[in-house]
Structure 1
Amino acid sequence: MTEPELADLIPKPQFLQDLEQDGFVVVPNVLPKPSCDEFVEQAWEWLESASHGFRRDDRSTWTAEHLPYGHDRGLYNRYCVNHEAFVWRIRSHPGILKVFSQVWGTDDLIASFDGINISLPVNPEVGRTDIAATKPWPHIDQNPRTIDKLELYQGIANIAPNGPLDGGLVVLSGSHKLHTEHFDSTGGFRAHQDSGLAENGYNFLPEDVAWYHRQGCKQVKICANAGDLILWDSRTIHWNCTPTQSQTRFAAYVCYCPRSRMSDEDLKTKSEIFDLRKGTTHWPNKNIVPADRPGYHYAKPRRPDDSLDSANRERPFNEPHVTPSVLSLVGVRP
């Protein structure tokens, strides 16, 4: 079966044109307000349950000592949060699936088992004071050996209002088109910035970012409303930033690709990963499980003193409803 690289739609929706041109786009009003409100409440409940005494209404608990592993950037991808019922409700939402079916030209999709983002604001008045705002960490989520072609579009289901100072995704617009030129002009990619042969990522230094700026790439802090869907090309240089006012950031990482990208054997493995409620990276078709990486120090969540976190879990607090839609996104077919 020949898989689509992108939907061959005539006329092509404007959001797809913008996505191809800029390397990112915001698709508005994909999720209804009740779905967002439910996610926010249950995300707070999860954070209070998975932590060491964190309470949303007690700022004295807004510290590393009380929060789960992943708190510094708000990226939670352990503790089986990937398979909590409230996360799967967003992952399997028809509005999101409709957009990705337009992207790929098929509704025969599989999903990643990615995590969520809950970023508490950092400021002395109403936020955290134990950490500083995150510094830029520009990177791509695609192997630099394959940057000459599109491989994946990533997604963020934006759950809460996300203005200029509310944290969120930052991109270098148009950078996805310039990597070959960049590496040709700088002598190729550097091993110490590469995530490795078996991984999919590359980190950029400030001088690299300056090169992209000189080529006309603009740094854009993406703003979005609750219910919007943010899409970006995995080759687009990006990072996330910290909210610095009063708004807590809530988001779910959502990513899909055609089921045809996986062999029957790999689909069986994907189903087993789901049955074990393990999380993956954003790649739906690669079965990369961070918690199973051999020798990876942070495979299991750790406390601030570097000890293993006793609050780690092997099943979610609330199991997902295994509906036909969920099974379909796992890759299971009748």
Structure 2
Amino acid sequence: MPHYESEPKIDTNLVTGDWREDLFRDGFVVVKGVLSPETADTYKQRMFQWLETFPYGFKANDRSTWGKEHLPEHMKGGMYHGYTVQHEKVIWDARTEPAVIDAFAKLWDTKELLVSFDGMNLTLPAANMPPSTPWPHVDQNPKRKGMQCVQGILNLAPNGLEDGGLVVMKGSHKVNETFFKLHPETPGAGTWGSFDWHGFNEEEVEWFKNRGCGEIKVCADPGDLILWDSRLIHYNTLPVSDNVRAVMYICYTPAAFASKEDLEKKAGYFHGRIGTTHWPHANIFHQEDKHMRLGNPDTFRRDRPVVEPEETDLVLKLAGVKAY
């Protein structure tokens, strides 16, 4: 385990005069117009094309095929982390969009960044979609102090109050450390290891609400970038509307934050086209593809992307393969 007291983090007391102050204060922010609506729509269409590469009968222009029986395995209505999706060219193309990188470079005050090997979400309205159950959680170990990771959603379709998407508890990042000090008996709080995910029950959520942390459904337009502190309580909710939710999970942190060992591990996962967590510089462990679908062993497997990413100089640096 690292020595948490000396881990790198951002100074959230900075006066910036821009969206960074909203992020520091509220724990989340929507950075408007990072991509054009036209570019965002192109990425969404490429995500649909990816679904059509599977042998389950999905057709983007036939809504009768939008049910789970025609889709590859996913979770929470549309989160895809299997089938090496993390290394599809469409996601790597989005990760190398200059304006997306620039937003994180502005936050961390460096362009020498690593990117996460995370997945995507394409939630399709369908009659057989199960009810949405909130799963409020944080993605940062309380032993890690301060803002060390800021998660990102690149939003690719209109996303309003009824369209499903990210729900946050505004300001909960500021009382995160206090909560875990007062609740040392919380399952998992004393045995985190390298695992940085923690879910909250209803009573624990009430503790945060009683301290002014209200739930907010975050809305965004195509091409917006949603950012949030990994200490912020959040979850995703399914759409009530008939609209598609299309997003990519993209997160960057300074390459200088990573240890030599984690860089080597990350590079190996890139070469093996293996997905990890949303953490770019730490928590470098792979997302296991259990090869299950609809509760049974999947009849189809994929160990390499359909379209391999182009291994440019920038891609190799973001992947931790090549030094800056």
Same fold judged by TM-score > 0.5? yes
Shift of 1:21: 0.5
**Gap change, CA 1:151 and 1:61, over 3 Å in 2:** same
Pair 1:241-2:237 in alignment: yes
In the alignment, the residues of structure 1 paired with residue 169 and residue 313 of structure 2 have an alpha-carbon distance, to the nearest angstrom, of: 38
Q: CA deviation at 1:4?
A: 6.1
Q: 2:69 is matched by which residue type in structure 1? A: E
Q: Which moved more, 1:105-114 or 1:266-275?
A: 266-275
Q: What's the counterpart of residue 131 of structure 2?
A: 133
* 2:203 pairs with one of 192, 202, 207: 207
Q: 1:50 aligns with which of 24, 34, 54?
A: 54
The percentage of aligned residue pairs carrying the same residue is 40
Are 2:231 and 1:231 aligned?
Answer: no
In structure 1, the partner of 2:292 is 302
Distance apart, 1:306 and its partner CA: 2.6
The CA RMSD over aligned residues, in Å, is 2.2
| Structure-2 separation of matches of 1:11 and 1:216 | 24
Matched AA of 1:50: F
- 1:301 and 1:63 map into 2 onto residues whose CA distance is 19
* Alignment partner, residue 294 of structure 1: none
Change (3 A) 1:154 1:195: farther
Out of 39, 43, 53, the residue aligned to residue 39 of structure 1 is 43
Tell me how far apart the structure 2 counterparts of residues 323 and 25 of structure 1 sit (CA, whole Å).
31
Q: Deviations over 1:87-106 (max 9, x none)?
A: 11111111011110111111
User: 2:120 is matched with which residue: 91, 106, 116?
Assistant: 116
Residue 320 of structure 1: aligned partner: 309
Offset at 1:193?
Answer: 7.8
Letter in structure 1 aligned against 2:141: N
Is the contact made by 1:54 and 1:61 (CA closer than 8 Å) also made in structure 2? yes
Q: For residues 189 and 90 of structure 1, what CA distance do their matches in structure 2 show?
A: 41
**CA shift at 1:8, angstroms?**
8.7
Residues in 2 aligned to 1:15 and 1:100: alpha-carbon distance in whole angstroms: 12
Cα 1:28/1:195, change in 2 over 3 Å: farther
Q: Which amino acid aligns with 2:260?
A: D
Q: Please say if residues 140 and 203 of structure 1, whose CA atoms lie closer than 8 Å, have aligned partners that are also in contact.
A: yes
Structure 2: distance between partners of 1:181 and 1:56? 47
Q: TM-score, normalised by structure 2?
A: 0.91
Match of 1:273 in 2: 269
Deviations 1:64-87 (CA, angstroms, capped at 9, x unpaired): 222111154311011111111111
| TM superposition shift of 1:310 | 2.8
- Asked if 1:59 is matched to 2:55, the reply is no
Alignment partner of 1:156 out of 136, 145, 153: 153
Alpha carbons of structure 1 residues 139 and 195: separation in structure 2 relative to 1, 3 Å: farther
Q: Any conservation in 2 of the 1:50–1:79 contact (CA below 8 Å)?
A: no
- Tell me the equivalent position of 2:287: 290
Instruction: State the Cα distance separating 1:183 from its structure 2 match.
Output: 3.2
The residue type paired with residue 108 of structure 1 is: E
2:185 and 2:99 mapped to 1: Cα distance? Answer: 38
- CA distance 1:71–1:49, shift in 2 (3 Å): farther
TM-score (structure 1 length as normaliser) = 0.89
Contact 1:91 / 1:254 at 8 angstroms: preserved in 2?
A: yes
CA contact (8 A) 2:184 2:190 kept: no
Structure 2 residues without counterparts, runs of 5 or longer = 1-5
Alpha-carbon deviation of 1:211? 1.4
**Given that residues 7 and 105 in structure 1 are in contact (C-alpha distance below 8 angstroms), is that contact kept between their aligned partners in structure 2?**
no
Rate the CA distance shift 1:116–1:316 in 2: closer, same or farther, 3 A: same
- Is 1:4–1:104's contact at 8 Å kept on the other side of the alignment? no
Tell me how far apart the structure 2 counterparts of residues 118 and 101 of structure 1 sit (CA, whole Å): 27
How many residue pairs are counted as aligned between the two chains?
A: 317
Is 1:68 the counterpart of 2:72? The answer is yes
Letter in 1 for 2:86: N
* 1:17-36 → structure 2 map (5 Å cutoff): 17-36=21-40
State the match for 1:296 in structure 2. Answer: none
Partner of 2:3: none
Query: SS at 1:217's partner residue?
Result: coil
In 2, are the aligned partners of 1:254 and 1:282 still within 8 Å (CA)?
yes
Indicate how the Cα distance of structure 1 residues 43 and 194 shifts in structure 2: closer, same or farther if over 3 A, else same.
Answer: farther
Is the 2:77–2:129 contact (alpha carbons within 8 Å) kept by the matching residues of 1? Answer: no
Residue-by-residue CA offset, 1:292-330 (whole Å, 9 max, x unaligned): xxxxxxx323111332x2322111111111122211201
Q: Kindly indicate whether residue 20 of structure 2 is the aligned counterpart of residue 16 of structure 1.
A: yes
Distance 1:228 1:35, change over 3 A: same
| Partner Cα distance (1:161, 1:61) in 2 | 22
Counterpart for residue 125 of structure 1: none
